[in-house]
């Protein structure tokens, strides 16, 4: 027995205990994700057969059973009727219990009967979801599965969610998710007991909601010019260019989506961004921009450069008439108690120059443009509240006066900005970019599809604790947590599913299960059962990311030290020195090892002799600098002599990242060596303003004290800045040089020029290797 909650938490006055079998051999018998609050396991089982009876009290309970009965019909050829008779043996009984809280359920499985109790629809639905997970995963097959024994283990489950808000945000603006695929996502969310779907319907890249009063929003705002390159590198459209990529949900579509979700106990929260991230509506209705905006406004295919600073004019009364009209129709479409109004990343350079906005500041007695934004969102929040809805918004709303009753989403960093809302008595939801944004890499980046930067692995998600460093007074305002999929790098429903699953399983356990019940190894056992369900349901999850290998290769006395790791502790790492594909009989990795020039490493993870992840191949390119120590104030500087080029993802661990600065590096070759040329390797990533340095200078020394310049180069903008993602090697002729120490000085790449997708923003240098030949 152990405590599930910290007794110091104000909201957690009750201590709940969980009964678990301590024997390791029994831990895998009941595989439920998210793990329940309390569970007792018995040495017995209930067997479903064609004569099993299903007994209910109400028509609502009958409707909730419809899906599981259909699964039995398709997978087992059991044709069940629903009855309202007295309980007998070999039956599943649904019974209302008014003592249970909303969303809670009591499930008791014994050899004779199954009893499911709840106080309402949500509790019954979650109990049925748990019941389905207890069955063999073949129940989800939707085709006849002969030979399967349809049994569930004997258990008593007392279950309820830790948080009332367990949300998932899907960005359908950057990538428009077709309705049928969105319905699939809703079905998959329900499997994980998620109860809110936050739809990001509006952004610079598309308006996705039919508004009958303004057909221009979907005639124009829902479509953008086609681009084949990465989101961050896409150029803005030119006048007259066809706009063919996009789509929108009709009001009939929304009615179907909302109804489908409601049956699965999911509330759909619409987000109508304001005052920024609104290029799609301004392209349709350009009179709502500030008069200072002279360039044509078009729906953006990518980041947009200076266009992304075009936002609604806060001094134009027509803006508020328009938004109120939109909100009126949104209220009719979405029964949710909430409307999310965004409020993030509003660049105010046009407001600073706009006479209308400046007049508004003066009329309302405001101090600056920041207070003007607070006035803007409060005006719209008041309208929403007057119409019976509650307001949600991103944590930038804490920069000014927070709208009355607003729920704040903490997204920046680890969500700490939302705590300012809690200090003022506002409810908040934690959705930190660094922990719960699924746009980030979920595994070793060498194997992953391209996105912005940074890791949020399955384990990172699982180990996130939303309470963090918050005080008890702040914790009482924490309504829940939310995972987010921003879709800049999504181009199909399959790609979206790949990024979401199985990380959503880890998220669901944080949102539902007791804080103190985390068990990474136990979670992986349960997850392996859940991924079997993914397979049967056709969820396009990431199968290999959690099994793929991380590597660190570092210089060591002229050789290279290799370290390998995997986020799963239940795998073996096997490797070969050479190109041969590793097998379950290959060398077992037990710690760091050293390789010399000419050696190649091939490694992968295994379970019971079966290959589980992708094969990692490390083939260092040795030269006279490889394996030698680097002295620098820059982090990760030893990667420039480890013989490995980085991938196209600059946060894969193989780069020195120099943001808005240059750097200095000294390599000790350990003895005086003769060489004729030096090569410096850099990544160019146009969309992230990663380019060559403005200058590079090579110095040499025999004693490490007195240095002599042997080569230097200045690079103009046209030389150092180019489009695309690629490697550049700058070569320097050093004639016939004899030296032990090599010093490299790099000049910052500078501010991005006019016309760059990140014009006027600082650039960065990604430096990954030195060649001395």
> Which are the catalytic amino acids?
203, 277, 345
> Do residues 572 and 613 touch, judged by C-beta distance below 8 A?
no
Mention every residue, 6+ apart, whose C-beta is less than 8 A from residue 137.
Answer: 529, 532, 533, 535, 536
What are 429's two structure tokens? 């939801």
133-to-34, 39, 43, 119 alpha-carbon distances in Å: 10, 14, 18, 21
Three-state SS for 571-640 is CEEEEEECCCCCCCCCEECCCCEEECCCCCEEEEEEECCEECCCCEEECCCCCCCCCCCEECCCCCHHHH
Nearest to 421 by CA among 440, 445, 396: 396
Mention every residue, 6+ apart, whose C-beta is less than 8 A from residue 42.
Answer: 110, 153, 154, 155, 156
Q: Is 718 exposed, middle or buried (0-12, 13-18, 19+ CB in 10 A)?
A: exposed
Q: Name the residue with tokens 């103009």.
A: 716
**Distance, CA of 208 to CA of 172 (rounded, Å):** 7
Q: Is 166 exposed, middle or buried (0-12, 13-18, 19+ CB in 10 A)?
A: buried
237-to-228, 244, 283 alpha-carbon distances in Å: 13, 12, 12
> Do residues 204 and 279 touch, judged by C-beta distance below 8 A?
yes
> Do residues 427 and 477 touch, judged by C-beta distance below 8 A?
yes
Q: Are strands 338-342 and 390-394 parallel, antiparallel or unpaired?
A: parallel
> Taking every pair of C-alpha atoms in the chain, what is the biggest distance, in angstroms?
97
Backbone angles phi and psi of 172, in degrees to 5:
-100, 10
Residue 147's CB is within 10 A of a number of other CB atoms, namely: 5
Q: Residue 277: which region, alpha, beta or left (left: phi > 0; alpha: psi -120 to 50)?
A: left
Q: Are strands 572-577 and 601-607 parallel, antiparallel or unpaired?
A: antiparallel
What are 694's two structure tokens? 């403005």
């Amino acid at each position: 027995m152990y405590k599930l909650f910290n007794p110091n938490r104000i909201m957690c006055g009750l201590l709940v205990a969980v009964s678990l079998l301590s024997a390791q051999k029994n831990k895998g018998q009941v595989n439920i994700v998210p793990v329940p609050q309390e569970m007792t396991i018995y040495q017995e089982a209930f067997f479903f057969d064609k004569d099993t009876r299903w007994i209910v009290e109400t028509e609502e309970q009958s409707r909730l059973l419809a899906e599981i009965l259909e699964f039995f019909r398709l997978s087992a050829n059991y044709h069940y009727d629903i009855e309202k008779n007295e309980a007998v043996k070999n039956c599943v009984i649904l019974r209302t219990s008014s003592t249970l809280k909303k969303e809670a359920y009591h499930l008791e499985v014994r050899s004779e009967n199954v009893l499911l109790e709840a106080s309402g629809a949500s509790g019954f639905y979650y109990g049925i979801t748990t019941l389905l997970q207890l069955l063999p995963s073949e129940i989800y097959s939707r085709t006849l599965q002969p030979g399967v024994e349809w049994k569930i283990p004997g258990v008593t489950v007392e279950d309820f969610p830790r948080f009332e808000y367990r949300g998932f945000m899907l960005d359908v603006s950057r990538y428009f998710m077709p309705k049928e695929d969105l319905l699939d996502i809703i079905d998959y969310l329900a499997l994980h007991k998620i109860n809110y779907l936050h739809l990001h319907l509006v952004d610079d890249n598309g308006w996705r909601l039919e508004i009958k009063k303004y057909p221009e929003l979907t005639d124009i705002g829902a479509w953008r010019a086609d681009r084949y390159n990465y989101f961050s590198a896409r150029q803005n459209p030119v006048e007259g260019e066809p706009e063919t990529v996009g789509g929108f949900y009709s009001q009939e579509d929304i009615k179907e989506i909302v109804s489908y979700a409601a049956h699965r106990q999911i509330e759909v929260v619409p987000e109508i961004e304001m005052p920024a991230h609104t290029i799609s509506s301004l392209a349709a209705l350009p009179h709502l921009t500030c008069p200072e905006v002279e360039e044509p406004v078009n729906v953006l295919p990518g980041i947009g450069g200076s266009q992304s600073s075009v936002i609604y004019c806060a001094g134009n009364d027509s803006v508020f008439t328009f938004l109120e009209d939109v909100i009126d129709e949104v209220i009719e479409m979405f029964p949710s108690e909430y409307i999310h109004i965004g409020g993030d990343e509003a660049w105010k350079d046009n407001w600073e120059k706009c006479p209308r906005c400046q007049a508004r500041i003066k009329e309302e007695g405001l101090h600056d443009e920041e207070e003007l934004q607070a006035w803007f969102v409060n005006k719209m929040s008041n309208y929403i509240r007057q119409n019976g809805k509650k307001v949600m918004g991103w944590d930038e709303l804490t920069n000014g006066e927070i709208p009355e009753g607003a729920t704040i989403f903490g997204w920046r960093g680890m969500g700490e900005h939302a705590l300012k809302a809690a200090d003022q008595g506002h409810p908040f939801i934690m959705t930190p970019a660094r922990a719960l944004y699924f746009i980030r890499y979920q595994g070793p980046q060498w194997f992953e599809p391209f996105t912005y930067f940074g890791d949020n692995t399955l384990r990172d998600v699982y180990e996130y604790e939303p309470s963090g460093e918050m005080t008890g007074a702040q914790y009482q305002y924490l309504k829940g947590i939310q995972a987010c999929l921003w879709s800049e790098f999504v181009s199909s429903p399959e790609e979206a599913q790949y990024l979401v699953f199985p990380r959503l399983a880890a998220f669901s356990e944080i949102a539902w299960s007791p804080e103190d019940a985390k068990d990474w190894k136990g979670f992986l056992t349960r997850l392996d059962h859940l991924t079997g369900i993914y397979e049967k349901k056709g969820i396009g999850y990431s199968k290999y990311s959690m099994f793929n290998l991380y590597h660190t290769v570092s210089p060591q006395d002229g050789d290279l030290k290799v370290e390998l790791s995997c986020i799963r502790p239940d795998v073996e790492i096997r490797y070969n020195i050479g190109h041969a594909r590793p097998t379950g009989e290959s060398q077992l990795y037990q710690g760091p090892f050293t390789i010399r020039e000419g050696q190649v490493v091939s490694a992968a993870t295994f379970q019971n002799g079966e290959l589980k992840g992708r094969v990692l191949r490390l083939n260092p390119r040795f030269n006279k600098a490889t394996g030698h120590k680097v002295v620098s104030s820059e982090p990760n500087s030893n990667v420039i002599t480890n013989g490995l080029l980085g991938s196209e993802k600059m946060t894969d661990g193989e780069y020195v990242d120099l943001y808005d600065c240059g750097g200095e590096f000294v390599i000790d070759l350990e003895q005086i060596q003769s060489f004729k040329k030096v090569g410096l390797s850099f990544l160019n990533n146009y969309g992230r303003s990663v380019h060559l340095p403005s200058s590079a200078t090579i110095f040499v020394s025999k004693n490490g004290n007195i240095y002599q310049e042997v080569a230097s180069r200045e690079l103009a903008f046209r030389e150092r800045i180019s489009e695309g993602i690629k490697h550049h090697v700058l070569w320097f002729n050093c004639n016939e040089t004899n030296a032990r120490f090599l010093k490299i000085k790099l000049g910052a790449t500078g501010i991005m020029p006019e016309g760059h997708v990140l014009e006027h923003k600082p650039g960065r240098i990604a430096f990954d290797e030195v060649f001395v030949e």
